[in-house]
Amino acid sequence: MKTAVLEIPLSAAGPRAVGRIVRVMRKSGLVVFPTDTHYGLGGDGLSGEVIRKVYALKRRDASKPLLVLISGIDMAADLAADIPPLFRRAAENFWPGPLTVVLKASRRVPSELGAGTGTIAMRLPGLPWLRELAGKARFPVIATSANISGEGEISDGREARRVFDGRVDLIVDGGSTAGGPPSTVLDLTGPAPKILRPGAVTEASLREGLGI
């Protein structure tokens, strides 16, 4: 596979760059790109073909769901089967930012995305161009960590190119990313909120923001 490379500033990407990424993703292509923390690997989150390619490339356990980036609250509402009251509080207090919220998935969402759990894990990213990317694509963008399962996360564009050259359709090189802890994963599908993965948003902050 021949891999194209697109170099952009980490904090911004113009309409032409975003459009190029969207075109690759709409053709079921895989893209490595910088996020708020580390580099992500992804594509069209509503494509079963793309989801299977991501699992295969990462050698990821098929029982582990993939998270997606969204453009805003409207997209979240479209992808979820229902919106619990605590979701609104979580969104108001922690989005955009490093909080991933798990909700029951609508019928539009392929079962493979949630590893057969019937859920969808969504995050509204802090970088504006990533929100613009999901908005222009009109689908949630898979953003699992750009690494082979069990290996370290990547926070440098050169390393991303070394690992994924010839294995994905496009690498977006934004230089060095901020790194740091991953997003906190909050499950709102049950009768009480549950932290599935501790991360950048602390439990104390969540309790205060959610009023619980």
Q: How many domains does the chain have?
A: 1
Report the pLDDT value the prediction gives residue 157, as an integer from 0 to 100: 96
| Model pTM above 0.85 | yes
Q: Where are the alpha helices (DSSP H) in 41-182?
A: 48-58, 73-79, 85-94, 128-137, 157-164
Strands (E), 141-193: 141-142, 144-145, 170-173, 184-187
CATH number of the domain enclosing 71: 3.90.870.10
Our separate counts of H helices and E strands in the chain read 7, 11
Residue among 116, 131, 3 nearest 51 (CA): 116
- Domain containing 126 equals 4-210
Query: Position 133: which residue type?
Result: L
- Residues 70/122, Cβ–Cβ less than 8 Å: yes
Report the pLDDT value the prediction gives residue 159, as an integer from 0 to 100: 97
Phi, psi dihedrals of residue 35, rounded to the nearest 5°: -120, -170
Phi, psi dihedrals of residue 56, rounded to the nearest 5°: -65, -45
Report the pLDDT value the prediction gives residue 167, as an integer from 0 to 100: 98
Report the pLDDT value the prediction gives residue 186, as an integer from 0 to 100: 98
pLDDT in tens, 144-182: 999 998 899 999 999 999 999 999 999 999 999 999 999
Q: How many residues does the chain have?
A: 212
Q: Compute the Cα dihedral for 132, 141, 103, 149 and give only its sign.
A: negative
Q: Write the CB contacts of 183 (distance below 8 Å, at least 6 apart in sequence).
A: 37, 67, 98, 99, 100, 123, 197, 199, 200, 201
Report the pLDDT value the prediction gives residue 11, as an integer from 0 to 100: 72
Does 12 have pLDDT greater than 90? no
- Residues 109/79, Cβ–Cβ less than 8 Å: yes
